[in-house]
Amino acid sequence: MSYLLQLLFVACLGAAGFIIYKRAMRIRQNILLGRAEDRTDQPEKRRQNMILIAFGQKKMFEKPIVGLLHLLVYVGFIIINAEVLEILLDGIFGTHRLFAPFLGGTYQYLINFFEFLAVGVLVACAIFLVRRNVLSIGRLHSAELTKWPLLDANLILTSEIVLMTALLTMNAADSVLQERGVAHYTVVGTFAFSGFLKPIFMNWSDTALVAYERVAWWFHILGILGFAIYVTYSKHLHIFLAFPNTYFARLNARGEISNMPAVTHEVKSMLGLPVPETAPEVGRFGAKDVNDLTWKNLLDAYTCTECGRCTASCPANMTGKKLSPRKVMMDTRDRLEEVGNSLEKGGQGLEDGKSLYGDYITAEELWACTSCNACAEACPVNINPLDIIVELRRYMAMEESNAPASWNAMFSNVENNMAPWKFSPSDRANWLDKINNA
């Protein structure tokens, strides 16, 4: 029976690994639908950003209490998985608490530390559930956070509470079995937090305790594997993607908008400035669909935590306009998923008659943006929604000539007068005469 359980465990582990691998490859292929862009400069500065922002949660601590709770959940999630390594090896080799004999007294201190983190994760997730569902926090109750996005957040928090509860009750039942001298249960002593749960199991029979401990063990490890699969379809993918996303984030000033190489080449040619002999190929001015964006824009979309800090800080959104930077990122990811799923099934992919602009994000949303970069500044994982907004607006203005009348007048003045104002360049310094004659 033991060998059959080991085989079953290895089969579950292999199946989960295969599903996660396939999903990871699908996400990678989706991201690579974007245009190429070099983000490999200044590697040392990029590493510092990744350590401070992704691992150190630097931006989260602008609100200290929320930042501390989030850090507790994040660090707890990472470190508790060190205990999962032992559970995995126990499942493969049919052992129980494999590391205990090698670590001696240190083992109990480690499990106590893991339990401290488990309780911290449990408490923090309970607080986050209350904040999300009971308290009236505006950014957690906006129009785009309904149905699946709302359910997704609650599912993750509830799952973590259930998994941590399974871990603590498993250790409590294990401790009782140790004291009774039941075979195969290595004596390592009572643990700091699960010890408070031992009275629940004191009157249980040995058979019932072993059954519960085994069920909790299987539930915990299968729950972890299921969680790992689920995360690849969830906004909580940022747990993993925050690291590459912060590493490859832009290092130049946020307010700097990059020029289009083809347009730059044309302007330099008109001004008689030196340019390469071969002009950059123009596929499309700006972006209409996800393949017109860069791979980094698409990585941003998959990394979005849906926390809403970008939308909460957006001045356009504050004044009641339809623009929500969070929705822009969610729409980009949804369109990318739609295209990727279609390609995977041999469908039309990008040729399905839909596009990111128009079918997902409207002109009204895009023109509402003031380009102030408040959204990029607020994002805890260095996502820049403005990059996507600018590219979509470029498409509207340059491909469709769909810009506000005031903008078109400004464009015409810049083209003819080399300034946004409607007067001759030779008259630009006339205001000085008034000062000199005053």
The 3-state secondary structure of 123-191 reads HHHHHHHHHHHCCCCHHHCCCCCCCHHHHHHHHHHHHHHHHHHHHHHHHHHHHHHHHCCCCCCCCCCCC
* Secondary structure of residue 272 in the 3-state scheme: coil
Identify the CA nearest to 143 among candidates 299, 338, 306, 369. Answer: 306
- How many CB atoms within 10 Å of residue 15? 12
* Structure-block tokens of residue 241: 């993607």
Band (205; pLDDT cuts 50, 70, 90): very high
**Rounded to an integer, what distance in angstroms lies between the CA atom of residue 263 and that of residue 270?**
11
The residues, ordered by sequence, that sit 6+ positions from 355 with a Cβ below 8 Å of its Cβ are: 288, 289, 335
106-120 in b/e burial notation, b at 16+ Cβ within 10 A? ebbebbbebbebbbb
Question: What integer pLDDT is reported at residue 2 of this predicted model?
Answer: 72
pLDDT digits (tens, 9 = 90+) for 338-382: 999 999 999 898 999 999 999 999 999 999 999 999 999 999 999
pLDDT > 70: percent of the chain: 99
Residues 6+ apart with CB under 8 A from 259: none
Nearest to 361 by CA among 379, 336, 342: 336
pLDDT of residue 438: 66
pLDDT of residue 49: 93
Beta strands in 27-98 (DSSP E): none
Q: Which of 178-192, 372-386, 419-433 has the highest mean pLDDT?
A: 372-386
pLDDT of residue 74 exceeding 60, the answer is yes
Kindly report the pTM of this predicted structure: 0.87
Q: What is the mean pLDDT of the chain?
A: 88
Quick check: 411 pLDDT over 90? no
Adjacent-strand bridge partners of 294 = 35
What is the structure's pLDDT at 211?
A: 93
- pLDDT tier, 132 (very low <50, low <70, confident <90, very high otherwise): confident
pLDDT band at 69 (very low <50, low <70, confident <90, very high): confident
> What local confidence, expressed as pLDDT, does residue 4 receive?
86
Average pLDDT over residues 147-165: 89
CB atoms within 10 A of CB 232: 17
> Which of 410 and 31 is assigned the larger pLDDT?
31
- Provide mean pLDDT across the span 121-140: 87
Between CA 301 and CA 314 the distance in angstroms is: 18
pLDDT the model gives residue 393: 94
Position 300 scores a pLDDT of 96
Give 314-349 pLDDT, tens digit per residue: 999 999 999 999 999 999 999 999 999 999 999 898
Q: Show the tokens assigned to 55.
A: 């691992």
The Cα 304–Cα 237 span in angstroms is 8
Count of residues for the chain? 438
C-alpha–C-alpha distance, residues 258 and 17, integer Å: 40
> Closest Cα to residue 392, out of 287, 299, 302, 296?
287
Q: How far apart are CA 102 and CA 82, in angstroms?
A: 16
Tell me the pLDDT tens digit for each residue of 245-257: 999 999 988 778 8
- Cα–Cα distance for residue pair 362/355, rounded to 1 Å: 11
Distances (CA, A) of 87 to 65, 220, 308: 33, 9, 36
| Contact partners, residue 168, CB within 8 Å, separation at least 6 | 115, 118, 119, 193, 194, 197
Listed range (109-118, 263-272, 398-407) with the worst mean pLDDT: 263-272
Q: What are phi and psi of 18, to 5 degrees?
A: -65, -45
Instruction: Convert the pLDDT of each residue in 291-308 to its tens digit.
Output: 999 999 999 999 999 999
Mean pLDDT of 203-219: 92
Mean pLDDT in residue range 107-119: 89
Chain centroid offset of residue 376 CA: 14
**Mean pLDDT to the nearest integer, 123-141:** 87
Q: Which residues of 143-166 are buried (b: 16+ CB within 10 A; e: fewer)?
A: ebbeeeebebbeebbebbbebbbb
- How far is C-alpha 21 from the geometric centre of its chain's CA atoms? 18
Whether residue 1 has pLDDT greater than 60: no
Residue 391 region by backbone torsions, left for phi larger than 0, else alpha for psi between -120 and 50, else beta: alpha
Q: What per-residue confidence (pLDDT) applies to 68?
A: 85
CB burial string 87-100: b at 16+ within 10 A, e below? bbebbeeebbbbbb
